[in-house]
Each structure stands twice: as C-alpha cells, then as structure tokens.
Amino acid sequence: MTVVKVRRASAEDVPALATLRRAWTEEQNGEVVDPNFEARFAEWFATESGRRVAWIASVDDRPIGMLNLAVFTRMPRPGVEPNRWGYIANVFVLEAHRDSGVGRLLVEEAVTFARDEDLVRLVLSPSPRSVPFYERAGFATTDRLMMWTPKA
Ligand SMILES: CC(C)(COP(=O)(O)OP(=O)(O)OC[C@H]1O[C@@H](n2cnc3c(N)ncnc32)[C@H](O)[C@@H]1OP(=O)(O)O)[C@@H](O)C(=O)NCCC(=O)NCCS
C-alpha cells in the first residue's frame, strides 16, 4: 500500500519544492531551459517565508505534491481584534499520483491551519478543472471578489 505523508515544508525542502514547480511547468510547457530557476526559487522562498506556510507530500521520502498558504494581516480597526486571512497557492500533485486523495490531504492541512490560526477566510483562484476538488473541501464560488489585469 502506498503511504503518503504530508508535512510542513521548511527551508530544507526548497530543492524538492523547486523540482515540483519545474515538473508542473514542464507538464504544461515541455522542457524549459532556465539554469537560474532553482536559485530564483530559493530566493523567493526565503523572501516569502515570513508570511507563507508550505506543505509537502511525499511517498517513501520522494516529494509528490505541494501547497502553500500566504497569510495576510488585515489593517487594524479600533475596538476590533486583529485578524488575518489566507490565500492558497501552487497546489500541485505529480501526474502519476493524482486522483488518489493526495491533493485532498494537502488542502485539509491548509484548512486545519486556518482553523487553528483563526483565519477569517481562505481564498484561491481555481482552474476550471479543479473547482469540484475545492468544493469537496468546503470551498464555495463567490461573486464578492474582482480582478484586474493589464490590457495590452
Ligand atoms: C488539483 C490537484 C492538486 C488535485 O490533486 P489530486 O491528488 O489529484 O486530488 P484528489 O485525488 O484529492 O482529487 C481529485 C480531483 O482533483 C481534480 N483534478 C484531477 N485532475 C486535475 C487536473 N489535471 N487539474 C486540476 N484538477 C484536477 C478533480 O476534481 C478530481 O476529482 P474528480 O475528477 O472526481 O472531479 C492535481 O490534479 C494537480 O496537481 N493538478 C495540476 C495543477 C492544478 O491544476 N492545480 C490547481 C490549480 S488551482
């Protein structure tokens, strides 16, 4: 039986997380020659680590999936306890390990963290294919968010 472990990622996991990110990109775009990518990734992780929590899934110590959660602290209001919310990002499971619940385990970790840390909401931007996956984890589509992108 395949035993999947999901745990909080630390700086030691940066090479594994970068490998997963590269695998995701190459799944979409084919091989990408970018020798600086791993260094850029490590710099990004270090910069973000103050406000971002990451999890890594593995089988026999081989990384197979990841998720991270950026925590935003809202502007204080007089008379109101400070509160925070989270943005779930970069949810990825290697293709060979999909559809067996690894993604669900990763999202459950984020939801448990949100409950434990009293986050007031979790937000994410799903791909159309992943909408049912997030719905099963308790997420609902909302019309309360807007998005801006630069026009060409
Ligand atoms: C989304 C993803 C993390 C789910 O991981 P998983 O381990 O397969 O998750 P689970 O086994 O717990 O759930 C399977 C569900 O994932 C969704 N899913 C399956 N393949 C998917 C894919 N290629 N892309 C997006 N979602 C997918 C489906 O909803 C599937 O259930 P369904 O077919 O019954 O609707 C994984 O499919 C993946 O890495 N996809 C590519 C990256 C991606 O799209 N990330 C999410 C962007 S918001």
Predicted local confidence at residue 152, as pLDDT: 74
Residue nearest to atom 33 of ligand 1 (CA): 99
Instruction: Give ∠ CA 68-71-74 in degrees, rounded to 5.
Output: 160
Query: How far, in Å, is the centroid of ligand 1 from the Cα of 103?
Result: 7
Residue nearest to atom 39 of ligand 1 (CA): 92
Point out the ligand 1 atom lying closest to the alpha carbon of residue 104.
12
Predicted local confidence at residue 1, as pLDDT: 80
Q: Does any domain span residue 94?
A: yes
**pLDDT tens readout for residues 36-55:** 999 999 999 999 999 999 99
Point out the ligand 1 atom lying closest to the alpha carbon of residue 131.
29
Q: Does any domain span residue 49?
A: yes
Predicted local confidence at residue 106, as pLDDT: 98
- Which regions in the chain score pLDDT beneath 50? none
Distance of CA 1 to the CA centre of its chain: 26
Q: Does any domain span residue 68?
A: yes
Q: How many C-beta neighbours within 10 Å does residue 137 have?
A: 16
CATH number of the domain to which 108 belongs: 3.40.630.30
Structural contact between residues 65 and 102, judged by C-beta atoms closer than 8 angstroms? yes
Point out the ligand 1 atom lying closest to the alpha carbon of residue 107.
12
Beta strands in the chain (DSSP E): 4-8, 52-59, 62-73, 84-93, 122-123
Q: Determine the structural domain holding residue 63 and report its residue range.
A: 4-136
Q: Does any domain span residue 40?
A: yes
Q: Does any domain span residue 152?
A: no
Is the distance from the beta carbon of residue 102 to the nearest atom of ligand 1 less than 6 Å? yes
Q: Does any domain span residue 81?
A: yes
